[in-house]
Structure 1
Amino acid sequence: MSHSSTPAAAPRARRLTRPRWRDPRLLIGAVLVLVSLVATTTLVRAVAETTRVWAAAENLVPGGELTADSFVPIEVKLPASEGEYISADSHIEPGTTVRAVVGAGELIPVSSLVALSDMSGRVVSVDVSSALPAAVASGSRVDVWATDARAAEVEAPDAILEGVDVLSVDRGGGDFTSPGAARIEVYVPDGRIGEVVRALATGHHISVVVVPDGRSADGADAEPTEVAP
């Protein structure tokens, strides 16, 4: 008995179909790519965006009038507090000073500016009788002590000024009467001016003591600012 074999039919090849633009999977993929591109572009732009503001070119001290040389423009990243600092496009009016010391290199807050006419104090020149500490410079904070040099016995000194800001320092180079003496300009509140002038007029021995406050004379210890490269 013979068996005849019939060859198996070959499988039919499946035809590839072109993807349709209305295919939901294709549309979802395109949307995801677009969203990713927009998010990346926005992030890069936000990171690279900087603001041009004024920084102190030197230590700025209450009572000292600000000039064009008091500022330097710098580019910084201020994403959240841009309005708190003075834009480099702003004009500083003549007769303006600061309420508190702004160290060299620090950004200048808008709230720190005040008209000299609105300040309740005066700048006073003080001749220092003894050697001035090397740390004293513009922007330093000092106490000023006075001892009555006319007394037969040395009396306890009086603190005629405490925690005042130094505007300028003149170490004299031998121009003053006492060896090592110097002259400083300090901002004195109205209520203390009479006492200071009286001590100077009556020949009191004047000494200066530096108040440590974490701020160096050149502003090197100021809070760091993120400056754009």
Structure 2
Amino acid sequence: MSSAQRSAPDSAAAARTPRTRLRRPTWKDPRLAGGLALIGAAVALGAWAVNAAADTEQIYVLSHDVAPGTDLTAAGVLSLVDSHPGTAVYVAAGELPDDAVATRSLQAGELLPSGAVGRAADVALRSVVLDVASGLPADTSAGDIVDLWVLPAPQATVQDAGSAEVVARGLLIASVGEAGTSLVGGTSVQVEVLVPEETVADVLTAVGGGGPLVLVPTGQGQ
């Protein structure tokens, strides 16, 4: 058989074998459309995250616990944190009144609510610092409610000594200082209490009376 005869069948067989061709993807290809959709979603999500991170405002947060009547403008009481929009119930930076005071007890780390801020002139509590006899329970702190008692003056005679008397009830502790030495001997603790206006005169009279002052916790707090 000649080479011409052998090549003829081979050519015919090759003609009958289908050729595999790679097709270019079209816009109607579901795989391409799905891929583009995923890319678009990822881009949109990234843009949203960037915009959300940039769209923040600063609001006040409590640096430590405070009691009602505390001066919120004092150094170290408040700090600022970044917050996302939608926190209108909290006080934003620059919106704190010059004479702002707390109208209720607040805890460290708590965002400053607008409803817990008042002006000093509108709060019927006055701050008085007392040198009280030591003996406060170890866990006594700002926000606790106490009764103020006065003991007989040390220099009083037995006949004139009298007995311990309650001066004011329901006072609110604003802060508790360190223990120190009192002028009449022994130790004392400086405690800042918030006193209702109508009771201030009684408290100051007791302070000037010379008798040791004692605060008795009531077991209540705000």
Provide the TM-score with structure 1 as the length reference. 0.65
Superposed CA RMSD = 3.9
Which has the higher Rg, Structure 1 or Structure 2?
A: 2
Counterpart of 1:188 (choices 187, 192, 195) is 195
Q: C-alpha displacement at 1:159, in angstroms?
A: 7.3
- Alignment match, 2:6: none
Q: 1:58, 1:105 within 8 Å by CA — same for their partners in 2? A: yes
- Alignment match, 1:96: 100
- Alignment match, 1:83: 88
SS in 2 for 1:111: helix
Q: C-alpha displacement at 1:115, in angstroms?
A: 0.7
Letter in 1 for 2:127: V
Q: 2:69, 2:123 within 8 Å by CA — same for their partners in 1? A: yes
Counterpart of 2:213 (choices 206, 218, 226) is 206
Cα distance in 2 between the residues matched to 1:68 and 1:121: 17
Letter in 1 for 2:188: A
Q: C-alpha displacement at 1:118, in angstroms?
A: 0.5
SS in 1 for 2:101: strand
Q: C-alpha displacement at 1:99, in angstroms?
A: 0.8
Cα distance in 2 between the residues matched to 1:205 and 1:214: 24
1:21-66 deviation line (CA, Å, top 9, x unaligned): 3x15233442243124423553576579764322234443433433
Q: C-alpha displacement at 1:174, in angstroms?
A: 1.8
1:101-153 deviation line (CA, Å, top 9, x unaligned): 3334433222222110011121223331344444445x352412415527969
- Alignment match, 1:221: none
Counterpart of 2:58 (choices 32, 46, 52) is 52
Q: Does 1:174 align with 2:181?
A: yes
Name the CA shift for 1:148/1:140 in 2 (closer, same or farther; >3 Å).
Answer: same
Q: 1:122, 1:188 within 8 Å by CA — same for their partners in 2? A: yes
Structure 1 residues not aligned, in runs of 5+: 1-5, 216-229
Cα distance in 1 between the residues matched to 2:219 and 2:24: 78
Q: 2:58, 2:92 within 8 Å by CA — same for their partners in 1? A: yes
Name the CA shift for 1:55/1:42 in 2 (closer, same or farther; >3 Å).
Answer: same
Q: Percent identity?
A: 23
Letter in 2 for 1:42: W
- Alignment match, 1:3: none
SS in 2 for 1:146: strand
Matching of residues 14-33 of structure 1 within 5 Å:
14-21=20-27, 23=28, 25=30, 26-33=32-39
Q: Does 1:35 align with 2:38?
A: no
Structure 2 residues not aligned, in runs of 5+: 1-8
Q: C-alpha displacement at 1:204, in angstroms?
A: 5.2
SS in 2 for 1:39: helix
Cα distance in 2 between the residues matched to 1:143 and 1:208: 6
Provide the TM-score with structure 2 as the length reference. 0.67
SS in 1 for 2:75: helix
Q: Does 1:165 align with 2:176?
A: no
Q: C-alpha displacement at 1:166, in angstroms?
A: 2.1
Cα distance in 2 between the residues matched to 1:106 and 1:213: 21
1:142-173 deviation line (CA, Å, top 9, x unaligned): 412415527969757647222512245363x3
